[in-house]
Amino acid sequence: MIGALSLWVLAAGFFGAGVFNAIGTQGTRSDFARWGYPRWWHFLTGGLEIMCAALIALPASRMIGLALGAVIIAAAVLTVLRHRDFSHLIPLGVFAALIALVTATLS
Domain ranges of the chain: 2-18+46-106
pTM score, whole prediction? 0.93
Mention every residue, 6+ apart, whose C-beta is less than 8 A from residue 9.
98
Question: Cα(102)–Cα(7) distance, rounded to whole angstroms?
Answer: 6
Determine the 3-state secondary structure of 7 from DSSP.
Answer: helix
pLDDT band at 107 (very low <50, low <70, confident <90, very high): confident
pLDDT on residue 4: 87
Q: What is the pLDDT of residues 42-98, one digit of tens each?
A: 999 999 999 999 999 999 999 999 999 999 999 999 999 999 999 999 999 999 999
* Residue-wise DSSP of 16-43: HHHHHHHHT-HHHHHHHHHTT--TTHHH
Q: Assign residue 36 a region (left: φ > 0; alpha: ψ between -120 and 50; beta: otherwise).
A: left
